[in-house]
Chains A and B, each alone.
Chain A
Amino acid sequence: MYETFELLNALALMSNFVFVPALSYGSQLALGALGITLVFGILRFANFAHGDLMAFGTMVVVLVTYWLQAQGIGIDPLPTALLALPIGIVVAVAASLAIDRTVFRFYRRRRAAPVIFVVASVGVMYVLNGVTRFIIGPDDQRFADGERFLINARDFKEMTGLAEGVTIKLSQGVTVVVAIAVVAALFWFLQRTRTGKAMRAYSDNEDLALLSGINPDRVVAVTWIIAAVLATIAGTLYGLDKSFKPFTYFQLILPMFAAAIVGGIGQPVGAIVGGYIVAFSEVMVTYAYKKALAYLGPGGWEPEGLMQILSTEYKFAVSFIILVIVLLVRPTGIFRGKVIT
């Protein structure tokens, strides 16, 4: 009986610090990676500005949230940001269409090489980054409100009688629910609608799509719209879960790219699987297993060190390592995507 409790305690501990956070972080990465993968599939370049598009959209959401909070408008117990989200999405969509019109369309007409698009996207990244900081500043913004927990540690302990509690934050619950809904809607769109199928056809075989009368401008526009919607949703969920800081969002493109490439870039399913792989790796590699091992080991024993593979400051190394290994061993990723050239 004692052993069972020990095991359950270890499980509760791991759920609390590994499984739940990684699941919600993975969902956020998956939404971001989906946008990267769609843009790559249709426009055939790696869009470095995606992280900052995310920051830009989220900034709008944050500002609208502050305004709504000041007006006393809310949807308690849910966070006010969800109410502000549609406005953020509209602004981000407008921005990404405007960027395409002013920057990327020019290179598309010249049939420029992918690497030129990549470099142009780096330029867009800096501009968006600057605009975001100029408007909201470089500091941390905490805009989450409403109920904080779905399940808090004390309730869980009372319910189960375990020594370890499992906490599920509302933001984590919202993240998973929203991510499932968005992904389901996206796949329905890609698999079932005429425009979605045209996007897949264009990604599959551009020349043949043109020969079938598919309008490339329309496909490209729809792609940017979807990318901006996904980026804003992912950014808002990440911000609710942690906080909003422009620099953090810029850094997120590394794990998002790692996710898209692990899954196979250009493959939407791959981006989702990749998001969870990267998130779980990152959290598991940087978690200190000391306490969990103490539960599993003989009574009274405790490991001496923290039993942590990498300190959390090095969490980006995990994405890098995944990226390098995938590109060396299986450049097409799990679901046989394209190879970035």
Chain B
Amino acid sequence: MSHLIGKDMRGGYGGADILNGCTVSVDKGQIAVVVGPNGAGKSTAMKALFGMLTLREGNVTLGGRDITALSPQDRVACDMAFVPQTNNVFAGMTVEENLEMGAYLRRDDFSGTMAEVFDLFPILKEKRKQFAGELSGGQRQQVAVGRALMTQPSVLMLDEPTAGVSPIVMDELFDRVIAIKKTGIAVLIVEQNARQALEIADIGYVLVSGENRFTDTGEALLADAEVRQSFLGG
């Protein structure tokens, strides 16, 4: 049994269903990557896992417990963390304050966690007194991930973390994601840059029209001729 499972999820934003029975799961110490064409319901699937979308059918379990009915805020308290694609930092607050806000629910001393985040992203330590809004795109993304890590989550969900950053920054960010997974966190990523993301994926999901089309290890998906032709541009 995987740590986080969204099983047979169906639902949408009121109109027609966007998710048509897809299943996505990730285990601790694993990176799961969800890819697929535009409008395949990748981000919607992730939002459903985080409770930002009410499911019509299907359920979500975390560590064996059914959390389908929990609100996003309650899921934060259950050690889930989510990094939205845009507006994912407090622009008018310093880097350090951003991290403190990530740890808002913690009443214990979180300076150790903050030191870990600074170890993971050394540039943030250097810029900790600067406003997050003044940082470059890649650095902001690091602040966003760092903020999410402050709750010491068991699941980290990233919605298109490399959207709008340069290829070099993207490689660096994926490197960091591998380091995060090695600490035993379950990492779930929704990505446009499918090829690079699948390279670091322990498990990859190709969604089409809200359904699972292919599921395999990242390596196997990259080697699959059909997947390559249809979804990775040859």
Contacts and interface: CB of A to CB of B under 8 A. Distances in A.
A201 B77 CA distance: 18
Nearest to B50: A211
B84 A198 contact: no
Interface in B55-75: 72-73
Given A194-B104, A198-B104, A213-B104, A207 B93 contact: no
B101 A197 contact: yes
Q: Range of interface residues on chain B?
A: 20 to 34
**Which among A201, A210, A213 has the highest number of chain B CB atoms within 10 Å?**
A213
Contact of B101 (A207, A214, A215): A214
Interface in A204-219: 204-205, 207-215
Most buried by A among B73, B88, B100, B101: B101
A221 to B, nearest CB: 16
B104 A211 contact: no
Given A197-B101, A214-B104, A204 B92 contact: yes
Interface on chain A toward B: helix, strand, loop, or mixed SS? Answer: helix
Interface in A177-202: 194, 197-198, 200-201
A210 B92 CA distance: 16
B147 interface: yes
Contacts of A200: 90, 92-93, 97
B101 A198 contact: yes
A198 B90 CA distance: 11
B111 interface: no
B72 A211 contact: yes
Contacts of B147: 208, 212
B72 A208 contact: no
B90 A201 contact: yes
B84 A212 contact: no
Interface in B87-141: 87-93, 97, 100-102, 104-105
Contact of B104 (A204, A207, A212): A212
Contacts of B73: 210, 213, 215
A196 B97 CA distance: 11
B44 interface: no
B90 A208 contact: yes
B151 interface: yes
Nearest to A215: B73
A250 B226 CA distance: 71
Nearest to B103: A212
Contacts of B77: 213
Contacts of B90: 200-201, 204-205, 208-209
Contact of A205 (B72, B91, B102): B91
Contacts of A214: 101, 104
Contact of A197 (B88, B93, B151): B93
Interface of A: 194, 197-198, 200-201, 204-205, 207-215
Interface of B: 72-73, 76-77, 82, 84, 87-93, 97, 100-102, 104-105, 147, 151
Interchain residue pairs A-B with the least CB separation, the first 4: A213-B105, A213-B76, A204-B90, A201-B101
Given A201-B101, A212-B104, 20 more contacts: A197-B100, A200-B90, A200-B97, A204-B90, A204-B92, A204-B93, A205-B87, A205-B89, A205-B90, A205-B91, A207-B87, A208-B84, A208-B88, A208-B89, A210-B72, A211-B82, A212-B102, A213-B76, A213-B77, A213-B104
11 contacts: A200-B90, A201-B93, A204-B92, A204-B93, A208-B87, A208-B147, A211-B72, A212-B147, A213-B77, A213-B105, A214-B104
